[in-house]
Chain A
Amino acid sequence: MENAKKNMKFSTHSVSNENREGLKAWLNPFGYGWERVSYWLQRLTGVFLLIYFVGHVIETSSIIGGPDVWNSMLQLTQTPAGHLFLILVIGTSTFHSANGIRLIFTHLGKGLGEPGRPDYPYSPSSLNYRQKSGIWVALILAAFAMLFGVQVLFGKG
């Protein structure tokens, strides 16, 4: 008891990051439902697309070098791995866009329902089926976009 009291005093004086879950919390999407998965995917796709964007700006700068440099750059994505990377870009950008639109609406407080009188068993109105189906639609759209990408990129070859 004495010890606990002393510890309590100690921790009020330090701004503590102790026992915070840290990066592990946002890197693990499981256990909290679809919204947590959407949060996780939105961030990962965002980081991935930023990397792609920087790479895209750098690779397209080869257009200045003339046809030869441009064509040798194009060879980079003419491999199966390059195709897969492009398909991933298509899928992630579709998901990031569709889910992003949903998130803008929710962040503006739309589509979440109204506060009311909660009754047991509680089902939070902000985690309603409109939100969940928004996430599912984004995932399905991304899957279709990737299928389209497969058709375009692998169909000819």
Chain B
Amino acid sequence: MKIHYVTGVCALFVVAIHIIMRLIMPFSASLTYNNVIGNYHNIFYALLLEIILVLIAVHGFNGLRIILLELRQNRTWEKYVSYGTIIASIAIIAFGTRTIIFANGLEL
């Protein structure tokens, strides 16, 4: 649970920055391809996205793990739930990182 509190509080701050980036200009304008790809090319924004990705993935899948762990109490279930959520969070982090790296290096 400690990891849940830490990632939760940290995610709150970085997600706030992420949302503010969408709100400093008209919402629909901020989502045009050129603007978004421009964001990705900024190394700091890319890093911010990566941090959000890791924090939310850990927080979210740990939360899911907590909910699922409470449903059944046997070793097999606990093992499956723990490994399943760890693999799922690693998969989503890998997939998101691939997007960030490709989008960042697309027109370099």
Q: Measuring CB to CB, which residues of chain A are less than 8 angstroms from any residue of chain B?
A: 23, 43, 46-47, 49-50, 53-54, 57-58, 60-61, 63-64, 66-67, 70-71, 74, 93, 97, 100-101, 104, 107, 152-153, 156
Tell whether A100 pairs with B64 under 8 Å between CB atoms, given A57-B92, A70-B33: no
Nearest Cβ on chain B to A7's Cβ, whole angstroms: 23
Rounded to whole angstroms, the CA-CA distance of A38 and B92 in the bound complex is 28
Please state if A50 and B27 are interface contacts (CB–CB under 8 Å): no
When distances are taken between beta carbons in the complex, the residues of chain B under 8 Å from A93 are 15
Number of interface residues of B (CB under 8 A): 32
Rounded to whole angstroms, the CA-CA distance of A50 and B20 in the bound complex is 21
What are some 6 contacts across the A-B interface (CB < 8 A)?
A: A50-B63, A61-B99, A63-B37, A64-B99, A107-B1, A153-B27
Interface of B is mostly: helix
Residue among B5, B64, B99 making CB contact with A57, cutoff 8 Å: B99
Considering only residues 35-87 of chain B, those with a C-beta below 8 Å from chain A are 36-37, 40, 53, 56-57, 60-61, 63-64, 67, 71
Please state if A47 and B67 are interface contacts (CB–CB under 8 Å): yes
A-B contacts at CB below 8 angstroms, number: 62
Rounded to whole angstroms, the CA-CA distance of A152 and B22 in the bound complex is 11
Residue among A61, A66, A70, A156 making CB contact with B98, cutoff 8 Å: A61
Tell whether A53 pairs with B56 under 8 Å between CB atoms, given A63-B40, A104-B9, A107-B1: yes
Nearest Cβ on chain B to A104's Cβ, whole angstroms: 5
A77 nearest in chain B by CB position: B31
Nearest Cβ on chain A to B3's Cβ, whole angstroms: 13
- List 19 other contacts, CB 8 Å, given A53-B60, A152-B27: A23-B71, A43-B67, A46-B64, A49-B60, A53-B56, A53-B57, A54-B92, A57-B53, A57-B92, A57-B99, A61-B95, A63-B36, A63-B40, A63-B103, A64-B103, A67-B34, A93-B15, A104-B9, A156-B26
When distances are taken between beta carbons in the complex, the residues of chain B under 8 Å from A104 are 5, 8-9
Nearest Cβ on chain B to A141's Cβ, whole angstroms: 13
Q: Measuring CB to CB, which residues of chain B are less than 8 angstroms from any residue of chain A?
A: 1, 5, 8-9, 12, 15, 26-28, 31, 33-34, 36-37, 40, 53, 56-57, 60-61, 63-64, 67, 71, 92, 95-96, 98-99, 102-103, 106
Interface of A is mostly: helix
Q: Which of B9, B26, B99 is the most central at the interface, judged by chain A CB atoms within 10 Å of its CB?
A: B99
A58 nearest in chain B by CB position: B95
Residue among A58, A74, A100 making CB contact with B8, cutoff 8 Å: A100
